[in-house]
């Protein structure tokens, strides 16, 4: 009986090791194939449209990269409060633009 329990425990340990996670990058996200490679900018005009940080993410200090504020009152977490008409109208307008 002890041998059977030992064999089952060994089998479970080996099977758990086979489900190991892949490599992670510095931010804790799964690493991709081209994580170390930098993409070339498509065009200089595109670069002027949005200011970027060295890591390639948009610089949120710049006005053109910030999201527009809600038209009406907001909740404590900063999202628009959909109980107000001004926010409902703004959501409808944004939804029409996205389609």
Q: What is the pLDDT of residue 70?
A: 63
- Per-residue model confidence (pLDDT) at position 5: 93
- Sign for the pseudo-dihedral over CA of 95, 97, 98, 99: positive
User: Contact 52/40 with Cβ under 8 angstroms?
Assistant: no
pLDDT range class, residue 38, cuts 50, 70, 90: low
Q: Above 90 in pLDDT, residue 88? A: no
pTM (two decimals): 0.29
As a whole number, mean pLDDT of residues 3-16 equals: 89
40-82 residue pLDDT tens? 555 454 555 678 888 989 888 888 888 777 677 888 888 888 8
């Amino acid at each position: 009986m002890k041998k059977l329990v030992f064999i089952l425990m060994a089998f479970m340990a080996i099977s758990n090791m086979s489900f190991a996670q892949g490599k992670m990058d510095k931010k804790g996200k799964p690493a991709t194939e081209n994580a170390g490679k930098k993409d070339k900018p498509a065009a200089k005009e595109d670069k002027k449209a949005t200011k970027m940080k060295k890591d390639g993410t948009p610089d949120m200090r710049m006005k053109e990269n910030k999201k527009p504020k809600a038209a009406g009152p907001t909740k404590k977490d900063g999202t628009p409060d959909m109980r107000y008409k001004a926010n409902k109208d703004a959501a409808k307008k944004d939804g029409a633009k996205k389609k």
